[in-house]
Structure 1
Amino acid sequence: MLVLITYDVNTMDTAGRKRLTAIAKLCVRYGQRVQNSVFECLLEPYQLKELQNKIIEKMDMEKDSVRFYKLGQKYHTKIEHYGAKGSYDPGGVLVL
């Protein structure tokens, strides 16, 4: 299923900046950054739960927030993109 992950981390102190970096690194391992704090991740249900647990461990529940939008398997019909930063196919081939 395609999951859109968005987060807002309070970076007013050093600890917050470290949390932001840690959460971004976690998300990069599971998906593609599409905007600064927005990732599209093609995940199996167990991977989603694993990622959620890891992010929740890193975040400060009093200062930060994260949202997981489950777009499902038929995500192609739910995404429209306009403007810069061309789109990509999350299920396609990734060349490193």
Structure 2
Amino acid sequence: MRIIVTYDVSTETAAGRKRLRRVAKLCERVGQRVQKSVFECNLNQMQYEALERQLLAEIDEQVDNLRLYRFTEPADLYVKQWGNFRAVDFDGPLII
């Protein structure tokens, strides 16, 4: 399933800045950054549930905001993009 993760983590304190880095690292492990606090991910149900648990464990719901958007399959029918952006094909072969 394709999901979009968006977050707004308060960085007014050192603890907030640390939360922001941890949330970003969690998202970088499973998805592709499309904007500063927006990630696009292709996950199975188990990966999605694990990511949700990990993100909820990191944020402070009193001052932070986290949103997870799940796209209906086939997601390619519902996603359009324009402009200069190079998407990574996570399903295809990876050449290093």
**Does TM, normalized by the shorter one, top 0.5?**
yes
Indicate whether 1:14 and 2:14 are aligned: yes
Q: Which residue of 2 aligns with 1:29?
A: 29
Cα distance change on mapping 1:51 and 1:28 into 2, 3 Å: same
Q: Within the alignment, does 1:50 sit opposite 2:54 as a pair? A: no
* Aligned match of 2:39: 39
| Cα distance in 2, alignment partners of residues 81 and 87 from structure 1 | 10
Residue correspondences, number: 96
Fraction of identical pairs, as percent: 40
One-letter identity of the residue aligned with 2:75: Y
Measured in 2, the distance between the counterparts of 1:95 and 1:41 equals 19
CA–CA distance in structure 2, aligned partners of residues 59 and 71 of structure 1: 23
**2:83 matched to which residue of 1?**
83
Aligned-residue RMSD, C-alpha: 1.5
Which deviates more from structure 2 when the two are superposed, residues 84-93 or residues 5-14?
84-93
Judge conservation of contact 2:32–2:88 (CA < 8 Å) in 1: no
> Is structure 2 residue 89 aligned with structure 1 residue 93?
no
Deviation for aligned residue 1:89: 3.6
Work out the CA distance in 2 between the residues paired with 1:9 and 1:15: 10
Contact 1:3–1:72, Cα closer than 8 Å, also in 2: no
Give the gaps of 5 or more residues in structure 1: none
- Give CA deviations for 1:52-86 in whole Å, capped at 9, x if unaligned: 00001010010101111101331111111112223
1:2 counterpart = 2:2: yes
TM-score, structure 2 length as denominator? 0.89
Query: 1:88 deviation in Å?
Result: 4.0
CA–CA distance in structure 1, aligned partners of residues 88 and 68 of structure 2: 20
- Structure 2: how far apart are the matches of 1:44 and 1:90? 13
> Which residue type is aligned with residue 29 of structure 2?
R
